Structure 1
Amino acid sequence: MASKGKRRDAEGQYLTLPYAQLKSTAWRSLSGAAVKVLLELHTRFNGGNNGNVRLSMNEAVKALGISKGTAQRAFVELEEKGFIVLHTPGNWYNRRAHEWRLTTKRMQTAKGLRVATNDWRFWQSKTKDGPAENPSPKSTGPMENPRPGSGSTTEPVKA
């Protein structure tokens, strides 16, 4: 039993998931693979490496038991929904994985600490007609044939 005020080493690190995040539209719309990739990225965060959290596609495939296509879609989904940001692109030829920034964690920079941006809070699902302030145009085609003589006509055919 650990004494009061001392950290238990057996428990190790853990990840908090705030209710605001769990109840957000962005979180609830995540696929299972995206949740797995996000949790794997968090296991690679050590408290001071945000912006340099590395997880390659191949590592995600092996660690999580998902296909390459599923892993790729999960990374895209997490980026689109504001949970991660690509900080430094990887390089296949130099065998370097992308370096990610977790938007839920603060980041150490040369100018000091940057607070967590929590970009997921601003994500909104796309509707069929677009957002109310900028709806998509209705898809109505031309009411009649654009050129005379193409397709059917309303005029009777002369015999």
Structure 2
Amino acid sequence: MGSKKNVLPFDKAGGTVVIQRRLLKSAAYLGLSAQAKALLHLMHVYWTPNRPVGFGVREAEQSIPCSRKVAMRAFKELYEAGFIVLVDESLFCSRTQSKTRTWRLTWLPCWRNRPPTNDWEMVRHDPEPNQRKA
């Protein structure tokens, strides 16, 4: 006898975003601010295996919503924690086509069939500020 297929009720029209439990339970993820966690998930929504994620400070400001300073801090947190790596810097030119920064999400496969690097696992994470020795 054949085994039954396990059909999960995922949304087929809009797609799904799946994230690893070990990432969600990691000290790196738990140490992020709420805005950085929101940004991580927003960037994940735009991820495809064919190209880096184009997401800038303006998009973060509008999507989270937050101030420009908070959005910039959230990007810095994700970068320092090893969740994102800058692929290409932004360019603003009023005469030509402008482009946003592009990022590689380190917990996901990258374009050109490269496996995830999981840099967030290799970054040393300090204990919570209230647990540090004076």
TM-score, L = length of structure 2: 0.78
- Measure the CA separation in 1 of the matches of 2:29 and 2:91: 30
Cα shift at 1:74: 0.4
Q: What SS class does the counterpart of residue 108 from structure 1 fall into?
A: coil
2: CA distance, partners of 1:36 / 1:125: 20
Q: Which residue does 1:19 correspond to in 2?
A: 21
State the alpha-carbon separation in 2 of the partners of residues 15 and 44 from structure 1: 10
TM-score, structure 1 length as denominator? Answer: 0.67
Deviations 1:113-138 (A, max 9, x none): 110001111122247xxxxxxxxxxx
Structure 2 match to 1:28: 30
User: Structure 1: how far apart are the matches of 2:90 and 2:45?
Assistant: 19
- Superposed CA RMSD: 2.1
- State, as a whole percentage, how many aligned pairs show the same letter: 31
Which of the numbers 88, 99, 106 marks the counterpart of 1:103?
106
Could you tell me which runs of 5 or more consecutive residues in structure 1 were left unpaired when the two chains were aligned.
128-159
SS of the counterpart of 2:32? Answer: coil
Pair member with larger Rg: 1
Q: Tell me which residue corresponds to 2:114.
A: 114
Report the counterpart of residue 92 of structure 1 in structure 2.
Answer: 92
More helix as a share of residues: 2
| 1:5 to 1:22, Cα distance in 2 relative to 1, 3 A | closer
Kept after mapping to 1: 8 A contact 2:56/2:101: yes
Which fold has the larger relative contact order, with Cα–Cα distance below 8 Å and residues 6 or more apart in sequence?
2
1:64-75 residue pairs with structure 2 within 5 A? 64-75=64-75
Structure 2 unaligned segments of length 5 or more: list them: 128-134
1: CA distance, partners of 2:74 / 2:91: 19
The answer to whether the 8 Å contact 2:108/2:115 transfers is: yes
Q: How many residues align?
A: 118
